[in-house]
Amino acid sequence: MRKTLSVAVFGGLLAVSALAGCGSSDDSAKGGDGGSGDKIVLGFSQVGAESGWRTANTESIKASADAAGITLKFANANGKQEQQIADIRSFITQGVDVIAFSPVVTSGWDAVLKEAKDADIPVVLTDRAVDSQDTSLYKSFIGSDFKLEGKKAGEWLLKQYEGKNEPVNIVELQGTTGSAPALDRQSGFQEAIKANPNLKIVKSQTGDFKRADGKTVMEAFLQSEKDIDVLYAHNDDMGLGAIEAIKAAGKKPGTDIKIITVDAVKDGMTALAAGEINFIVECSPLLGDQLMQTVKKVKAGESVEQRIVTEETTFTQEQAKEALPTRKY
Ligand code: AHR
């Protein structure tokens, strides 16, 4: 079996190719659009509309499909895996050319992925990973390295307490339970802060990546924990909800409680520039163009990179002030 490993940077995305015997025409799409025309038909199942990030991601996918001349069938699962599975099954029945989806959670996809494979409809994962052992069930996975994002958040915090010998109480707002970003941002952060035993996560609960839930959970944290030094929120929206709770409790976000979030959407960056958040790890939602390029290749029977990693940065308060005027999302 032929195995190749290659790395290339293009369009702000890092493509890491791990191809095992990847051929060309024999794995092209055969689903077709009912033979009605030349336009590629892409069925896309989106997680939902839980955050500013998700809104920007949906806009990116729709705009890029339009620009690429791809007919997009878009389904919103409203955060429910059963709905996503039903949407994917419907795409199979309709005989779309390619299916793409952002899986709400990591597990439970093997059966529907096999159904797509049996129907000769290639699948591309975007944004979030699945835990399927059989990687032949999808052609490519385009998205961030969530573990690295968590690590960057933890490393920034480590630096803040370098050389200090004081207990640091951290509360964590996790993303959707069982989702790849929640699992990886948690483990990456935990691994990084291990280097300083004074840094302790005293409370950790899901806020489902939503602003309202971030607020409610933070209210509960503030009631049960007297001394909270740091909030680590797995996305901006939960952090922004928590800021409301912190203010209502008479504390100053960013000063009395240090806040670290992930995403760097405009609302988060605005709060960072205003001093209410201390550090943001970027997670880019602009995956549309790369997805459409991959869809075209897959449909043409060309080989594609099995893993395409989004390139991302981090922002301090000063960097947010500079970046805000040209921020796209
Ligand atoms: O999967 C990406 C995550 O999902 C984003 O960080 C979060 O805001 C979104 O809801």
Average pLDDT of the segment spanning 72-76: 98
The residue among 248, 238, 292, 304 whose CA lies nearest residue 68 is 292
The answer, yes or no, to whether residue 231 has pLDDT greater than 50, is yes
Q: What is the pLDDT of residue 38?
A: 84
Q: What is the pLDDT of residue 27?
A: 30
* φ, ψ at 4 (rounded to 5°): -130, 150
Q: Which atom of ligand 1 is nearest to the CA of 102?
A: 1
Q: What is the pLDDT of residue 116?
A: 98
Q: What is the pLDDT of residues 161-176, one digit of tens each?
A: 999 999 999 999 999 9
Amino acid at 216: T
Instruction: Please say whether the beta carbons of 238 and 209 come within 8 A.
Output: yes
For a substitution probing ligand 1, which of 185, 186, 235 has the most ligand atoms within 8 Å of its CB? 235
> How far, in Å, is the centroid of ligand 1 from the Cα of 61?
15
Q: Please, where in the chain does CATH 3.40.50.2300 lie?
A: 7-143+285-311, 146-283
> How far, in Å, is the centroid of ligand 1 from the Cα of 36?
36
| Integer CA distances (angstroms), 106 to 43, 90, 172, 277, in order | 20, 21, 21, 29
Q: Which atom of ligand 1 is nearest to the CA of 127?
A: 1
> How far, in Å, is the centroid of ligand 1 from the Cα of 27?
31
> How far, in Å, is the centroid of ligand 1 from the Cα of 47?
9
Q: What is the pLDDT of residue 20?
A: 30
Distance CA(213)–CA(103), nearest Å, equals: 21
Q: What is the pLDDT of residue 130?
A: 98
> How far, in Å, is the centroid of ligand 1 from the Cα of 167?
30
Q: Give the model's confidence band at 13: pLDDT under 50 very low, under 70 low, under 90 confident, else very high.
A: low
Burial letters 72-92, b for 16+ CB under 10 A, else e: bbebbbebebebbbebbeebb
Q: What is the pLDDT of residue 14?
A: 53
Would strands 258-263 and 307-310 be described as parallel, antiparallel, or unpaired? Answer: unpaired
> How far, in Å, is the centroid of ligand 1 from the Cα of 114?
26
Q: What is the pLDDT of residues 85-107, one digit of tens each?
A: 999 999 999 999 999 999 999 99
For a substitution probing ligand 1, which of 283, 287, 309, 329 has the most ligand atoms within 8 Å of its CB? 283
For a substitution probing ligand 1, which of 263, 266, 286, 312 has the most ligand atoms within 8 Å of its CB? 263
> How far, in Å, is the centroid of ligand 1 from the Cα of 175?
8
What is the CATH architecture assignment of 146-283?
3-Layer(aba) Sandwich (3.40)
Q: How many CB atoms lie within 10 A of CB 155?
A: 17
The answer, yes or no, to whether residue 298 has pLDDT greater than 60, is yes
Tokens of 177: 């339970």
> How far, in Å, is the centroid of ligand 1 from the Cα of 3?
33
The pocket around ligand 1, CB under 6 angstroms, is made up of 50-51, 53-54, 127-128, 181, 209, 235, 262-263, 283
The residue among 19, 64, 128, 13 whose CA lies nearest residue 296 is 64
Q: Which atom of ligand 1 is nearest to the CA of 285?
A: 2
Q: What is the pLDDT of residue 205?
A: 98
- Fold of the CATH domain 7-143+285-311: Rossmann fold (3.40.50)
Distance CA(76)–CA(39), nearest Å, equals: 22
Q: Which atom of ligand 1 is nearest to the CA of 128?
A: 1
The answer, yes or no, to whether residue 82 has pLDDT greater than 50, is yes
In the 3-class helix/strand/coil scheme, how is the chain assigned residue by residue? CCEEEEEEEECCEEEEEEEECCCCHHHCCCCCCCCCCCCCEEEEEECCCCCHHHHHHHHHHHHHHHHHCCEEEEEECCCCHHHHHHHHHHHHHHCCCEEEECCCCCCCCHHHHHHHHHCCCCEEEECCCCCCCCHHHCCEEEECCHHHHHHHHHHHHHHHCCCCCCCEEEEEEECCCCCHHHHHHHHHHHHHHCCCCCEEEEEEEECCCCHHHHHHHHHHHHHHCCCCCEEEECCHHHHHHHHHHHHHCCCCECCCEEEEEEECCHHHHHHHHCCCCCEEEECCCCCHHHHHHHHHHHHCCCCCCCEEEECCCEECHHHHHHHHHHCCC
Q: What is the pLDDT of residue 62?
A: 98
Instruction: Please say whether the beta carbons of 96 and 33 come within 8 A.
Output: yes
Q: Give the model's confidence band at 37: pLDDT under 50 very low, under 70 low, under 90 confident, else very high.
A: low
Burial letters 186-225, b for 16+ CB under 10 A, else e: bebbbebbeebeebebbbeebbbbbbebbbebbbebbeee
